[in-house]
Chains A and B, each alone.
Chain A
């Protein structure tokens, strides 16, 4: 870092609200009850205080909030919502529709566990339920990444007509205070200008269209194939736009997809999503034999970059806060598929479910466990 970057000490939710305000959505809709965060509370306050021009619609449920942003986006507005846990589950039917209609909605998910049993605390079970909907999925490890990923989310979503979700760990990030740089309006406007609308992308009485119409077997499959292809083509867009963003901000040298931290020739590499990356990085900072791979873009899954980054790794520990019951952690399954036939040991450590603390001591135990020959492929730790 060459020049001094101006930082503020902000709560995670506040930092997200600040950057969303500066990105100037036209419509925000949310349902204001547990599980919700200060993000929409702060945005509602900004609107009430006359600091923002967006329409703020308090919905009667999360299903309605998602439907409102769907509709707003369909008529060409920039639309945003935030949710969490059960709220995301209630949105899920609409989430699939948003992606299927190719609407560039941006949603923040404050990741929290799902019921039953009831838990209000952090894990990634909520977002994994809509993993396959066709949204771009970003995961933030800290507040700066959360801010930057919101800028990327709007930019890529509107460029590619694909919705995006930014995942930030509930409580661990949403309720944490730490120094963060929220770029000024000029930089934000330069990076995310007004949503560009092309004829046929939005509902217009002068150019009548139907969105999400009935598709018989002759046509339906092509729409799914196209969504898959277009989502994958976001990888190069994310790289390109992230490079531009880093340049505008004056700091950062990652590619927006993944970040490898530590010794390039380390034999053991830990792979994770979200805030636990910070704890891992801190744990291994003085250990040359272990490195960390942060996955920042989870969908589309950056297979090629991951293969390159894990070229020298012999043992890979995938540490994650969700489980596909009866199989393994979702990230573990993706990593396994990405590295198939490469003769690497890949183990899965499920940690931190329902807000269980993930300590540095636990990370050290995982590093020991991966060296045990007959340790289980998938184990619950902590």
Chain B
């Protein structure tokens, strides 16, 4: 089983990101689970969500305390070391940052750290600083836990009520993040 923990701020679509991971894995034919850890609901507050992917039925309900993959949607959260709780040297991190040189590597738990300028891609293509779908492009590429095709399918399904334009932009952004060197 692979366990994923996503950190971000309220309003950045942290919960939706976990749902998209689970949907994509499910479309790939795997078992999947996603659930949020709501804090006090206000914009900007640090929040986290979880996803699990496995080949067999997932029955545990505990929070993801020892993530295999840690997705950080906002690099300003790194100064709070508690976001790395339960990580070890094998934990893969996927970080949204405009400048990976500025990230203090001593905080990072392992060697496999991937950076994606998801904010720039989001602002450029979607026109809003909503990075949740974008960073999943980097997640799909570097972990290979979900396919890009299934991720696109998940975006189509999740955003079907938001209209064609939102879907097209998100798919373009996620594809760009997937293809970027990171």
Contacts and interface: CB of A to CB of B under 8 A. Distances in A.
B44 to A, nearest CB: 18
Interface in B5-45: 15, 18-19, 22-23, 26, 31-36, 38
Given A9-B23, A177-B23, A172 B61 contact: yes
Contact of B61 (A9, A177, A179, A358): A358
Interface string A7-32: 00101000000000000000000000
Given A9-B23, A9-B26, A177-B22, A278 B35 contact: no
B33 A177 contact: yes
Interface residues of B, number: 20
A207 to B, nearest CB: 47
B147 interface: no
A278 B59 contact: yes
A142 B35 contact: no
A175 B65 CA distance: 19
Contacts, number: 62
Nearest to B36: A175
Query: What secondary structure prevails in chain B residues at the interface with A?
Result: mixed
A319 B137 CA distance: 41
A176 B34 contact: yes
B58 interface: yes
A377 interface: no
Interface residues on A, range: 20 to 34
B99 interface: no
B181 interface: no
B7 to A, nearest CB: 16
A27 to B, nearest CB: 27
Contacts of B60: 278-279, 282-283, 360
B61 to A, nearest CB: 5
Contact of B34 (A172, A177, A275): A177
B48 to A, nearest CB: 12
A89 interface: no
A380 to B, nearest CB: 18
B58 A178 contact: yes
Contacts of B35: 171-172, 175-177
A121 B38 CA distance: 9
Contacts of A278: 59-61
B38 A178 contact: no
Given A175-B35, A179-B26, A276-B61, 5 more contacts: A142-B59, A175-B38, A278-B59, A278-B61, A360-B60
